[in-house]
Structure 1
Amino acid sequence: MARTSLTVILPSTWHAIIIFLFIVLLHLALPSSAQPEYDALLKFKASVTNNVVALSSWTASAPPCIENIANWIGLLCENGAVGGLQLQSMGLEGAIDVDALAQLPNLKVLSFAGNSFVGPFPNLAALPNVRVVSLSNNKLTGAIPTDAFVGMIALVKLDMDDNEFSGEIPASLAGLPALQELMLQNNMFQGGLPQFREGQLKNFSVVNNDLTGEIPPGLSHLEASAFLGNKDLCGNPLLRCPNYPLQLSIWTMVMMSLVVAAALVALIAVIVILCRCRAVPRREHDEITRVMVLVSHSTEAPMSNLECGECPPSVAAAPPNVRMTFLKEDRDIFDMTDLLKASAEILGSGLFGSTYKAALSERQIVVVKRYRHMGNVSRQDFHEHMRRLGRLNHPNVVPLVAFYYRRDEKLIVYDYINKTSLATLLHGNRSRPGHKILDWPTRLSITKGIARGVLYLHNDLPSLTAAHGHLKSSNVILDTNQTPLLTDYGLVPIVNQEHAEQHMISYKSSEYKHTGRITKKTDVWSLGILILEILTGSFPADFLKPKKEAPDADAAEWVESVTSDEANMFDTDMTRERECEAEMVKLLRIGFACCKSEVEERPDIKEATQQIEEVRERSSFNLELRN
């Protein structure tokens, strides 16, 4: 009887022993220094909502790091320790648990860009060793304490753009000895700018805030584009600040008024003559500025109904016609007067300028792009190039309708498309209700449309080295039928060279970094990067926004990181389409071939497009089964 009882009890006993030994071995596998990190990461995961899928690999089945290899998604590992968190665009929500992160003593990189974290500014001072912090495109709110950054002597890069921060920019930022990049655009900061050291910041933006006062000398070396959208900022590199009058006696003021009045009477004739000679060109410039100011203050409201407080002087008066140059004969002609009367809204503001939607009538809606950084192109060259672009006609290219040229002002008008960008669909918040899943057939169709559009540009613009030159997911628009349309094409010859080198995608290619030149195959390289982005769902953030300390390695490192495991690198939205995997891998390898660092090893655009066209929705074997 006892023997029978032993036989029954023994298996369960051994199960318990095995489980106990597994737990012991797991803890022994973790270095003593790694256990606090393990606990800290699990604590951070517990504080984040929507983490079930995004952080599914954060479990007890494996240690976070083994030497320099990360077992958990989003970790940067160094000698077995956690050196960084890169959790961009993963749909994470909730508050940022800094107390948990403070238990990671080797943490140097912290990137939560493109999520939905809420609450006030986190206490980053609890992370004194952190070098790079990106909180871009979240929902953080409120004022930041002036001493919030005291002690962060290692901080090199801080991105807090596209949140809802308010109050003054913390003065403690100016005291950070290593800080080189500070991005604060698209918030609600008020007050003046801190007194940064001269030349301290290499990359800086406070675009679209509510800042006031004079730009301090330590920031005067930056471009004016870093300060746009703050109507009360002044000083170099913007307009000079007004010189406020001194306190004078009443008698002095009366005498000065009499002198000024006499001078005005003497100059009336000259003023009238000058006004008659220069009224038209001056009024043209005023009308452009007036239109854009009105558009930027309106949201689906007729411009004529705006309150006077939002209007420039004399806006109620009938403006003169500022004529556009039209490139399509099948479009209704309009001018700046019509734009003033249209209902309008601002669609966005980017590195090249601002974009506006204007509804001229129920059947005529256009997009007006106001481009900066084109001041070096002559009127003749600009007109010639625009007419060349205006002749383009392809189902995968957004048509150009009209344009306007001034030395300091370039407007380009496109047809409006009820649209969303490919970048939004790939990297938007996937936890949001109504999120559209991009399956494999849709992604393949989009890729083929993009390749056809680029091939068409190369065939019809043979004189351009890079016919598109700025191919990326945010410059691909999808209409209601998911048909891709290319925008911002053909800009290379007319954008100021220094701005093109800093921001256009073609100038991030390996050939430009090594030789200082772009080639006919540079667009093929951009297409390859875009194919990898479409298939993996991973945003090549390092490539699009290069690191200061390693600008030559970003694109290559990203490509290398997504080539390590072909079978498991596809976007999770396509994981159920295993019957299509052979064709998916085929397109993936075309992408790899297109973005090889050696130009000679890449296919040309015609070869690449032909190879993409040969990819099918399903493998031949599955097609035969279906038939």
Structure 2
Amino acid sequence: MAISSPIPYKSFLVIASFILLRSFSIAQNDSPVLGYSMKERVALNSLKANLDNPFLNKVWIGSHCFTNTSQWFGVRCNSNGLVIEIALENMGLKGDLRSNAFITFTELSVLSFKNNSLSGNLVIDFSFNRKLTLVDLSGNLFSGQIPISLVVIPVLEALFLQGNSLITGSIPAFNQSSLENFNVSNNNLCGPIPKTRALQSFGHDSYDGNPGLCGPPTSMACNSNGNDTAEHGDKTDHKSFLGSLLHIVKDYLYVIEFVFLIVIILLFVLYYNKSRKLKKMMNEYKERGEIKHEKSEDDQLVIAEVGGDQRSRPFGNNNLNTRPIGNNNLNTSGQERRKLVFVADNYGQGSNSTFEMSDLLKASAEGLGQGTFGNCYKAMMEGKPVVVVKRLRNLKPMTDEEFTKQLLQIANQKHPNLLPILAYYNNKDERLLLYKYVEKGNLFDRLHGKRGKGDRIPFRWGGRLNVARGVARAMECLHLNTNFLVPHGNLKSTNVLLDSDENALVSDYGLASLISVAAQRTVCYRSPEYQFAKRVSKKSDVWSYGCLLLELLTGKVGVYTAPPGVSGVDLCTWVHRAIREEWTAEIFDGEIAVNRRSAVPGMLRLLEIALHCVEKLPEKRPEMSEVVRQVEEIQFKDQSEDEDDLSLERSYTDDSISTIASGKAGDDHNRK
């Protein structure tokens, strides 16, 4: 009897690769039909059982995700139904976090348990969370050492561990170029601070409250054999790192063996194709590395002037290790100096209202923060008005004439609710915008600042309605009088300022037309139409305005407009869910809910307008002119007795919102 010939070796490898890849795909995407990962659900339930919090036990039930819709409080999911954020803050949580609590969440980018009462040894393994950008465990009772696995996360941007009891070992040698925020203050850490570029770029405030720490940036010098200590610390960190790796290999050996087998097979079967991909990836990594390197150098100025030391400094202070606001070549005699160009015709009268670039260079500077389009500074000149200087960055490649033409088109927009550009400075190395300083600050701080403190002045319904009207009028003016594809492009609460009478002044309008990275940073590029079709329009501004209205009504921080380091809520999803699940009485912020008798009709009408503005399909959203008309029709009745009338039945609010929701659902059905 003839014996059949064996299967060729190469064919066997192909078949084996297919089977293993298929099983690996099934293991990773274990519940594609359900719209969520069963492994992640098991891990979340394990976390819930470990924390044993009554609130979480009540609300963490059922499916935690459904595709890109988050079902559980504090949990956000992506379009594949995988968890990308776990944020459980200010909840009084107790217990500890197990070392393997988060290894299942491979897509996790945000993890925050700040201001709780969690304790135990901080031995969490983050080696599988390669996409983590923010970790905030501050304000707890953790002990032990900083997890060494955080050092190898390539995209880590913010790490907050302040206010714990970390006592073991020294600070690991963090050196990610992406790291922008770092704070380990008020612990019991000891030893010299590693002399990595990342850790040395932070101010002493990031390390205060650790009596055992020494060396820069702290003021505490290490002892005479500090070099030996530093070397010993480096060796200790190195040994700890190796020990952590060995621990991971030991605990997860089966995973490593499985991945190693796949790699070996792919090297035999797909060698040439894989090598080309690796070469392409290496080129991309090099380009990204150069961009991050440039960004970190530019951000040193922000750390120097906006960091822990908020004292005023002159713009031309050479004590800083970075260049001042005015490039140094502007302050050199014998070279050509360009002048400030004033564009506001009502800036002021008299000798004290005019100034030159030389006055600005000698002014005291106070950092106001890092904006999407550039850093902002408060400039205080002697005997001159206080101004805000915005230092533009990441500009599109354009000539001086093109820049001036675009800027003048922006500056020509005149409206009482638009913050005018006072002047600009245009040089090939430096481009600055000057604005009037608005002392009341921005809408974000007015809405969310000093919450829970006795000195907070409540932001009542009348004031919020006035802001909603002012912003709508400003946006209508921009939509009717500009040729930009998206007239504003970055409308959010931090870009709405409040004058002395708390009237709205919209800022940063039109700047998206000047910036080359607007698609990655501005609010309009996070609208539904860009996520699905990669396109934006004036209706993207309408969507941003709707999100702003939801923030005004709910008093919650929106996820798309939250400043760096602040966690936000997807307000569109949250409000729709509140209406769908009939806990609508909790939608409105408590500061405006006290005005129920006089304010409820207006609040409901403004909520209805907001829901129309945040429709997923742009063509279903109204024009800004129609939005202005609808907002202007809302009547405000000033009845002071409402502030004491908190006994009104919730059913009025709930039934009214339910009516809005059912009517809106009917409209959607008819359109289909």
| TM-score, length-scaled by structure 2 | 0.59
Structure whose residues are more often strand by fraction: 1
1:160 to 146, 158, 161: 158
SS at match of 1:221: helix
Residues 163-312 of structure 1: matches in 2 within 5 Å? 170=172, 183-185=179-181, 191-192=195-196, 221-222=288-289, 224=291, 228=295, 230=297, 299-301=310-312, 303=314
Hey, what does 1:257 align to over in structure 2?
none
Instruction: Give the Cα–Cα distance (whole angstroms) in 2 for the partners of residues 299 and 360 of structure 1.
Output: 17
Residues 108-127 of structure 1: matches in 2 within 5 Å? 108=105, 123=122, 125=124
1:456 to 472, 477, 485: 477
Instruction: Give the Cα–Cα distance (whole angstroms) in 2 for the partners of residues 37 and 309 of structure 1.
Output: 47
SS at match of 1:540: coil
After superposition, the C-alpha distances for 1:467-504 in whole angstroms (9 at most, x for unaligned) are: 111101111112332222111101132111xx111111
Hey, what does 1:610 align to over in structure 2?
629
Is residue 544 of structure 2 the alignment partner of residue 526 of structure 1? yes
Hey, what does 2:519 align to over in structure 1?
501
Deviation at 1:554, TM superposition (A): 7.3
Instruction: Give the Cα–Cα distance (whole angstroms) in 2 for the partners of residues 84 and 296 of structure 1.
Output: 29
After superposition, the C-alpha distances for 1:432-467 in whole angstroms (9 at most, x for unaligned) are: 442333222222121111111111222232x12221
After superposition, the C-alpha distances for 1:107-164 in whole angstroms (9 at most, x for unaligned) are: 84695669667999982625777675734696799999675227x99x7975525787
After superposition, the C-alpha distances for 1:316-368 in whole angstroms (9 at most, x for unaligned) are: 98797541111124443322210122222111123322111111234501111
Pair 1:324–1:481, CA change in 2 (3 A): same
Deviation at 1:610, TM superposition (A): 0.9
Corresponding pairs, count = 487
Instruction: Give the Cα–Cα distance (whole angstroms) in 2 for the partners of residues 206 and 571 of structure 1.
Output: 42
Pair 1:460–1:93, CA change in 2 (3 A): same
Residue type of the partner of 1:221?
R
Instruction: Give the Cα–Cα distance (whole angstroms) in 1 for the partners of residues 487 and 42 of structure 2.
Output: 56
Instruction: Give the Cα–Cα distance (whole angstroms) in 1 for the partners of residues 570 and 456 of structure 2.
Output: 30
Hey, what does 2:448 align to over in structure 1?
427
SS at match of 2:511: coil
Instruction: Give the Cα–Cα distance (whole angstroms) in 2 for the partners of residues 458 and 559 of structure 1.
Output: 27
Instruction: Give the Cα–Cα distance (whole angstroms) in 2 for the partners of residues 394 and 560 of structure 1.
Output: 34
Instruction: Give the Cα–Cα distance (whole angstroms) in 2 for the partners of residues 121 and 381 of structure 1.
Output: 59
Hey, what does 1:324 align to over in structure 2?
340
SS at match of 2:612: helix
Residue type of the partner of 2:122?
N
Residue type of the partner of 1:478?
L
Residues 18-417 of structure 1: matches in 2 within 5 Å? 40-42=50-52, 58=55, 62=58, 64-68=60-64, 73-74=73-74, 86-87=86-87, 92=90, 99-100=96-97, 108=105, 123=122, 125=124, 132=132, 134-135=134-135, 148-149=148-149, 158-160=156-158, 170=172, 183-185=179-181, 191-192=195-196, 221-222=288-289, 224=291, 228=295, 230=297, 299-301=310-312, 303=314, 321-331=337-347, 332-417=353-438
SS at match of 2:401: helix
Pair 1:186–1:33, CA change in 2 (3 A): closer
Structure whose residues are more often helix by fraction: 2
Deviation at 1:293, TM superposition (A): 8.6
Residue type of the partner of 1:596?
E
Residue type of the partner of 1:426?
L
Instruction: Give the Cα–Cα distance (whole angstroms) in 2 for the partners of residues 99 and 323 of structure 1.
Output: 60
Deviation at 1:604, TM superposition (A): 0.3
Verify the 8 A CA contact 2:119 2:143 in the aligned structure 1. Answer: yes
Where in structure 2 are there 5+ consecutive unaligned residues? 1-40, 185-192, 205-215, 218-281, 348-352, 646-672
Pair 1:387–1:232, CA change in 2 (3 A): closer
Instruction: Give the Cα–Cα distance (whole angstroms) in 1 for the partners of residues 180 and 377 of structure 2.
Output: 23
Instruction: Give the Cα–Cα distance (whole angstroms) in 1 for the partners of residues 320 and 155 of structure 2.
Output: 39
Instruction: Give the Cα–Cα distance (whole angstroms) in 2 for the partners of residues 394 and 570 of structure 1.
Output: 30
Moved more, 383-392 or 562-571: 562-571
Instruction: Give the Cα–Cα distance (whole angstroms) in 2 for the partners of residues 447 and 232 of structure 1.
Output: 34
Pair 1:37–1:511, CA change in 2 (3 A): closer
Residue type of the partner of 2:55?
W
Verify the 8 A CA contact 1:93 1:116 in the aligned structure 2. Answer: yes
Deviation at 1:39, TM superposition (A): 5.6
Hey, what does 1:20 align to over in structure 2?
none
Residue type of the partner of 1:74?
G
Verify the 8 A CA contact 1:112 1:136 in the aligned structure 2. Answer: yes
Pair 1:594–1:400, CA change in 2 (3 A): same
Hey, what does 1:441 align to over in structure 2?
462
Instruction: Give the Cα–Cα distance (whole angstroms) in 1 for the partners of residues 522 and 596 of structure 2.
Output: 36
| TM-score, length-scaled by structure 1 | 0.62
Moved more, 185-194 or 474-483: 185-194
SS at match of 2:404: helix
Instruction: Give the Cα–Cα distance (whole angstroms) in 1 for the partners of residues 133 and 121 of structure 2.
Output: 11
Hey, what does 1:538 align to over in structure 2?
556
Residue type of the partner of 1:160?
A
Instruction: Give the Cα–Cα distance (whole angstroms) in 2 for the partners of residues 554 and 295 of structure 1.
Output: 29
Deviation at 1:388, TM superposition (A): 2.3
Verify the 8 A CA contact 2:97 2:120 in the aligned structure 1. Answer: no
Deviation at 1:573, TM superposition (A): 3.0
Hey, what does 1:269 align to over in structure 2?
none
Moved more, 562-571 or 107-116: 107-116
Is residue 486 of structure 2 the alignment partner of residue 466 of structure 1? yes
Pair 1:113–1:182, CA change in 2 (3 A): farther
Residue type of the partner of 2:596?
R
Deviation at 1:568, TM superposition (A): 2.7
Instruction: Give the Cα–Cα distance (whole angstroms) in 2 for the partners of residues 417 and 529 of structure 1.
Output: 24
Pair 1:396–1:114, CA change in 2 (3 A): farther
Moved more, 553-562 or 439-448: 553-562
Pair 1:369–1:206, CA change in 2 (3 A): farther
After superposition, the C-alpha distances for 1:290-334 in whole angstroms (9 at most, x for unaligned) are: x99999998554639968677989999879754111112444332
Is residue 506 of structure 2 the alignment partner of residue 486 of structure 1? yes
Residue type of the partner of 2:503?
T
Verify the 8 A CA contact 2:174 2:196 in the aligned structure 1. Answer: no
After superposition, the C-alpha distances for 1:498-538 in whole angstroms (9 at most, x for unaligned) are: x1111111222222333333222221111111111221223
Deviation at 1:76, TM superposition (A): 6.8
1:569 to 587, 604, 609: 587
Pair 1:583–1:323, CA change in 2 (3 A): same
Hey, what does 2:255 align to over in structure 1?
none
Pair 1:386–1:103, CA change in 2 (3 A): closer
Is residue 509 of structure 2 the alignment partner of residue 512 of structure 1? no
Where in structure 1 are there 5+ consecutive unaligned residues? 1-30, 44-56, 175-180, 195-204, 234-288, 547-552
